[in-house]
Amino acid sequence: SGQELRSEFQNLGTLTENISLCFLVIMFPNGRIVGEKIFMTSGYEGNFDSLKQRCSQAGGQLASPRNAAENAAIQQIVVLYNKSVFLGINDIQTEGRFTYLNGENIVYSNWQTREPNNDKGIEDCVEVYSSGKWNDKSCGEKRLIVCEF
Ligand code: IPD
Ligand code: CA
């Protein structure tokens, strides 16, 4: 009947509102949405390998910004926590050729002036400063985790 249909639509509307509300709660304050991507930190800190493993265990991957908007979302998390993060970008395989975790050459970068400098010959990972700028850094250092989903 028309009345049943109307009440089904009302239920659907309520469901959508509830999902939207849940989403806002979940995203506060550790997540950022950019286009189709969600960036999220758990507050965990560790070296590159352990960050990479944690993100993949959660069904995501270490944050890998492909444009300025995505980088700005990651920067916001760095500022909020006052802690630099490691990206899912490195030149472990070939010195000077920075790639995503799947081996693809990066399509976007935001290096600080005079970086990457491979200081002491041991800097293959990429950290993001609170300025949003990038520095290559030793993968053994501990940084804040930010995953993308
Ligand atoms: C280093 C410098 C350098 C940068 C290195 C850092 P440190 O810090 O800031 O410019 O390229 O990645 O490790 O060794 O002076 O504390
Ligand atoms: Ca450096």
Q: Atom 9 in ligand 1: which residue has the minimum CA distance?
A: 135
Pick the residue whose CA is nearest to atom 5 on ligand 1. 119
Cα–ligand 1 centroid distance for 89 (angstroms): 18
Q: What is the pLDDT of residues 114-145, one digit of tens each?
A: 999 999 999 999 999 999 999 999 999 999 99
pLDDT at 104: 98
Question: Quick one: what percent of the chain has pLDDT higher than 90?
Answer: 99
Q: Which residue has the tokens 């940084």?
A: 143
pLDDT > 70: percent of the chain = 100
Q: How far is CA 84 from CA 45, 79, 87, in A?
A: 10, 8, 10
Task: Provide ipTM, 2 decimals.
Answer: 0.90
Count how many Cα atoms sit within 13 Å of the Cα of residue 20 in the half-sphere of its side chain. 6
> Can you read off the two tokens belonging to residue 117?
């400098």
2-148: CATH number: 3.10.100.10
Cα(54)–Cα(70) distance, rounded to whole angstroms? 20
Gap from CA of 119 to ligand 1 centroid (Å) = 7
124 lines ligand 1 (CB under 6 A): no
Report the predicted TM-score, pTM, of the whole model to 2 decimal places: 0.94
**Cα 84 to Cα 126: distance, rounded to the nearest angstrom:** 10
Q: Which ligand is nearest to the CA of 141?
A: 1
pLDDT, one tens digit per residue, over 54-111 is 999 999 999 999 999 999 999 999 999 999 999 999 999 999 999 999 999 999 999 9
Residue 34 confidence (pLDDT): 98
pLDDT at 137: 99
pLDDT of residue 46: 99
Q: Is the CB of 115 under 6 A from ligand 1?
A: yes
Most ligand 1 atoms within 8 A of CB, residue of 113, 115, 119 to mutate: 119
Domain ranges of the chain: 2-148
Distances (CA, A) of 15 to 10, 20, 21, 46, 141: 9, 9, 10, 39, 45
